[in-house]
Amino acid sequence: MQGRLRAETVEAPGSWTTILLERTGVSNIQRGMPSDLSPLEERRLHMMKLLLRLPVAGVAEAWPTETACRERLIVARWPGGIRCPKCESGQIGFLEKRKNYRCKSCRLQFTAQSHSLLHRSHVDLQKWFRTTELLIWHNAHHPDLNYPTGHDLKDHLEISYAAAHAIKKKILKELLLPDGGLLGSCVSVGPAVYAPADVLAGSSDELLWYDAHITT
C-alpha cells in the first residue's frame, strides 16, 4: 500500500495543469465536507472511484464494436430516452438515409455525438472509450498528469499526435466532472464502491482505503 501522496507544485494560473488541479476538489465541495487532501490527492481519489466501476473484462470486451459504443453512448447521454440537445424535446425521429436524429419540435438534426465533447470527431468511439479507460487507470495509479503522453496515445491508438493530444486534453477535463462526465458515465458502469462508514470522507484514510482496493 502506498503512503500518503505529496502535493505537487501547481503551475502558473491558467495553465492546463492548474485548471485540472483546481477542479479536483469538486467531490468534497459538493458534499459540503472538509478535506485534508491536496488537490492532487483529491483528483486521484476521484479517479480511483471511477476505476473500481470499470468493466472487469475491460472496455474493449464490454463494447467490442463501434455500434456497441454508440449504443452505450446514447444510453449514458440520455438515460430517459433521446432528447433534442437544443430544445430538450423528446419528440425525436430518425432519418435513415442520413443516419441522423431529427427533432420534431425545432427540426434540429443531430447524432449521438452532437453538442458534446465528441462533436464532429473523426476518431472512432472505440478509441475514445479505450483512451478514457487508459487515462482513468493511469491517473488512479500514477497521479502524474503527463502520463500517458500524447506520443504514447498516438502509438496506442494509431492516430496522429495532434489528435491524440487533443483527445487526452478533452477526456481529462471531462473525467473531473461528477461521475466522470459523459465519457466516465459511458465506461464506469459498475456499482459505486464506498469506503466503510468509519472512514472519514475526504481524509487520507479514505485515500488509503481506495488505494488498497485498486491494488488487490
Q: Which helix (H) or strand (E) holds 13?
A: none
15 pLDDT exceeds 70? no
pTM: 0.81
Using the 8-state DSSP alphabet, how is residue 63 labeled? Answer: S
| 43, 177 Cβ separation under 8 angstroms | no
Pick the closest to residue 106 from 82, 122, 90, 117 (CA basis): 90
Top mean pLDDT of 9-23, 51-65, 159-173 is at 51-65
Q: All 3 cell numbers of residue 83? A: 432528447
What is the pLDDT, as a whole number, of residue 25? 39
Q: Where are the domains of the chain?
A: 39-77+117-214
Q: Could you report the per-residue pLDDT of 81-91, keeping only the tens digit for each? A: 999 999 999 99
Mean per-residue pLDDT of the chain: 84
What is the per-residue pLDDT for 21? 39
* pLDDT value for 144: 67
- Which one, of 163, 133, 118, lies nearest residue 56 by Cα? 133
Mean per-residue pLDDT for 109-125?
94
Half-sphere exposure of 124 (CA within 13 A, CB side): 14
Q: What percent of the chain has pLDDT over 90?
A: 69
Per-residue model confidence (pLDDT) at position 50:
97
